[in-house]
């Protein structure tokens, strides 16, 4: 009993420390010099995201009652947009490079982006070198902060509550930092790194979501010093079949608090996360070369760590023969694990009953996969790890970050790529090709708008709910005309 009390105190102390560190960093009335914007975090020191010491851009100030989007239209690459406390009911669309957004917090009052459950996204960027910090984002239907193909981004010190499907969602990006954010009430993933490379996800607090942190179809990602609790699943690294990038590998999950992730699953029916069983601490599905090290993993009712393939993880591997379905070369190093598996559910509960046990394991491996290993396996209650060998490494201390040493080259996007990225970033969460998700299948859209991309663009601008068995789609009129036509043409040309 004493051990359990100590564990709970450790988690609570960590939460207070992280929350204090996140919020105290923004409590200021004196405005920092733009030269300091990229120099107030140890994570950035010496990295490719550290900006030059001389600021040569223009500062645009946005105050309550005015528009952030109007400031974006005036801004040029290298400029800073400062947003003062107030409530801003808008979508901020950024298709320029090197634009920085800094919320100014005065006497505890934040700049608030409020979607009123009418708007889809708060920030939607496709530019390179974007920084967004110190904003409170609430009540959106789609995403808090979403990036499409922008490289060298910094998303930090934001507070995102009930922002729809995803809280922070960079996609097709390279070389990005997601740090010191607090996110809750997200119906899919609070932090969702999708089809990206070289991303650090550090010092965030995620709670009360379906998934806390997801690394999906992404490579070279560090997930460190985060607090993930009271989600359905705490931290996930996996492959979703059917996406343009087919792999997830080189992921380090290190020094995180992963505790009490027992929240009921309120994900959209048909989505992959809707299949996550409550009580999942860390889940690895079909990802390769994942290292799990020095985490405190406690009181997750189903299991502390689950390692699975497509078949046992609920993914439809048959829809994508190019996605390899097994988790290979998973390395489990020292972790502190206690009080996991006390109330297993579903298939795991049935599996434990066959072993005459009412408890689930600290670590479960089920399905295929080769080359995996575990250090000091006697420390844990395990199931299915008979094929795991001894690891070749003891720790990853030599790896401080997985960011690039030099900035990634700005991504140039062709019209076809723009259509593809817009589809997978905005449309595919609700529209699968030939199965029902939240919206009608893409195949049905193709039949309705065959040879008529202009008609589909008109619908994207102003949807009409023509079917009682599907919810009304929110308008996507904030997209550029080029993006809307590109995605319409991509949808109508898409084949299974």
DSSP codes, 13-40: HHHHHHHHHHHHTTB-SSPPPGGGTTSS
Collapsed DSSP state (helix, strand, coil) of residue 132: strand
Strands 382-383 vs 136-138: parallel, antiparallel or unpaired: unpaired
Residue 472 pLDDT: 77
Collapsed DSSP state (helix, strand, coil) of residue 489: helix
The span from the CA of 205 to the CA of 313, in Å, is: 26
pLDDT tens for 415-472 read 778 888 788 777 876 787 777 767 888 899 999 999 999 999 999 888 887 777 777 7
The span from the CA of 480 to the CA of 462, in Å, is: 14
pLDDT tens for 143-181 read 999 998 899 999 999 999 999 899 999 999 999 999 999
User: How remote is the C-alpha of 3 from its chain's centroid?
Assistant: 33
pLDDT tens for each residue of the chain, 496 residues long: 444 444 444 444 444 444 444 444 444 445 666 665 555 555 666 678 877 767 889 999 999 999 999 999 999 999 999 999 999 999 999 989 999 999 999 999 999 999 999 998 999 998 999 999 999 999 998 899 999 889 999 999 999 999 989 999 999 999 999 999 999 999 999 999 999 999 999 999 999 999 999 999 999 999 999 999 999 999 999 998 888 899 999 999 999 999 999 999 988 776 778 888 999 999 999 999 999 999 999 999 999 999 999 887 766 655 678 889 999 999 999 999 999 998 887 677 666 666 656 777 899 999 999 999 999 999 999 999 999 999 999 999 999 999 999 999 987 777 778 888 788 777 876 787 777 767 888 899 999 999 999 999 999 888 887 777 777 787 777 677 888 899 999 999 988 7
Q: Which residues pair with 199 in a beta bridge?
A: 176, 221
The span from the CA of 128 to the CA of 131, in Å, is: 9
- Within 309-386, strands assigned E span 331-332, 336-338, 363-366, 373-374, 382-383
Q: What is the mean pLDDT of the chain?
A: 87
Give the number of other CB atoms < 10 A from CB of residue 359: 16
Q: Is there a contact between 278 and 294 (Cβ–Cβ < 8 Å)? A: no
Residue 350 pLDDT: 67
Which pairs count as long-range contacts for 354-360, CB under 8 Å and 24+ apart, including other chains? 355/383, 360/279, 360/301, 360/302, 360/303
End-to-end Cα spacing for the chain: 55
Residue 370 pLDDT: 96
Residue 353 pLDDT: 61
Residue 169 pLDDT: 96
Collapsed DSSP state (helix, strand, coil) of residue 272: helix
The span from the CA of 489 to the CA of 166, in Å, is: 26
Element holding 194 (H helix, E strand): strand 189-194
The span from the CA of 290 to the CA of 328, in Å, is: 8
Give the up-direction half-sphere exposure of residue 110: CA atoms within 13 A in the CB hemisphere. Answer: 17
Q: Which residues contact 318 (CB under 8 A, 6 or more apart)?
A: none
Element holding 202 (H helix, E strand): strand 197-202
The span from the CA of 384 to the CA of 366, in Å, is: 6
pTM recorded for the entire structure: 0.86
The span from the CA of 245 to the CA of 470, in Å, is: 29
The closest of 58, 141, 67, 140 to 100, measured between CA atoms, is 58
The closest of 369, 403, 379, 372 to 224, measured between CA atoms, is 403
Residue 17 pLDDT: 42
Category of 451 on φ-ψ map: left (φ > 0), alpha (ψ -120 to 50) or beta: left
Residue 464 pLDDT: 82
Instruction: Render 142-176 in DSSP notation, one character per residue.
Output: SEEEEEES--SEEEES-EEES-SSEEEEEES-EEE
The closest of 210, 305, 186, 300 to 253, measured between CA atoms, is 305
The span from the CA of 496 to the CA of 491, in Å, is: 11
């Amino acid at each position: 009993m004493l051990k359990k009390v100590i564990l709970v105190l450790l988690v609570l102390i960590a939460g207070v420390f992280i929350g204090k560190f996140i919020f105290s960093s923004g409590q200021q009335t004196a405005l920092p010099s733009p030269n300091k914007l990229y120099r107030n975090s140890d994570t950035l020191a010496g990295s490719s995201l550290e900006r030059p010491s001389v600021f040569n851009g223009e500062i645009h100030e946005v105050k309550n009652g005015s528009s952030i989007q109007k400031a974006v239209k005036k801004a040029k690459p290298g400029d800073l947009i400062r947003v003062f406390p107030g409530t801003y009911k808008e979508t901020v669309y950024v298709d320029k490079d090197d634009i920085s957004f800094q919320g100014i917090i005065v006497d505890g009052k934040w700049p608030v982006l409020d979607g009123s459950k009418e708007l889809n996204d708060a920030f939607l960027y496709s530019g390179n070198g974007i920084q967004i910090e110190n904003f409170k984002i609430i009540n959106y239907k789609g995403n808090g902060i979403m990036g499409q193909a922008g490289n060298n981004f910094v998303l930090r010190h934001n507070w995102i509550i009930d922002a729809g499907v995803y809280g922070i969602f960079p996609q097709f990006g390279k070389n990005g930092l997601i740090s010191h954010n607090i996110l809750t009430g997200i119906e899919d993933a609070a932090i969702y790194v999708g089809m990206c490379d070289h991303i650090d996800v550090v010092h965030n607090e995620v709670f009360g979501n379906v998934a806390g942190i997801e690394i999906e179809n992404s490579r070279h990602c560090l997930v460190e010093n985060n607090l993930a609790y009271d989600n359905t699943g705490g931290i996930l690294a996996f492959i979703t079949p059917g996406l343009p990038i087919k792999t997830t590998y080189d992921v380090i999950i290190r020094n995180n608090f992963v505790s009490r992730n027992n929240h009921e699953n309120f994900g959209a029916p048909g989505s992959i996360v809707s299949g996550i069983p409550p009580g999942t601490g860390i889940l690895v599905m079909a990802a390769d070369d994942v290292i799990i090290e020095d985490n405190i993993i406690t009181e997750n009712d189903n299991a502390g760590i689950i390692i699975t393939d497509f078949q046992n993880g609920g993914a439809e591997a048959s829809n994508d023969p190019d996605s390899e379905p097994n988790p290979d070369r998973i390395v489990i190093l020292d972790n502190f694990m206690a009080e996991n598996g006390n109330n297993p559910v579903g298939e795991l509960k049935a599996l434990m009953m066959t072993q005459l046990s009412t408890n689930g394991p600290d670590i479960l491996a089920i399905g295929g996969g080769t080359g995996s290993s575990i250090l000091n396996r006697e420390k844990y209650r395990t199931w299915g790890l008979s094929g795991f060998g001894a690891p070749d490494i003891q720790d990853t201390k030599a790896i401080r970050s997985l960011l690039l040493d030099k900035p990634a080259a700005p991504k140039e996007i062709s019209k076809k790529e723009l259509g593809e990225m817009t589809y997978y970033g905005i449309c595919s969460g609700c529209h699968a090709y030939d199965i029902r998700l939240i919206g009608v299948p893409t195949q049905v859209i193709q039949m309705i708008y065959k040879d008529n991309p202009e008609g589909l663009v008109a619908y994207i601008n102003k949807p009409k709910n023509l079917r009682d068995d599907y919810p009304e789609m929110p308008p996507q009129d904030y997209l550029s005309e080029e993006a809307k036509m590109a995605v319409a043409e991509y949808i109508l040309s898409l084949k299974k």
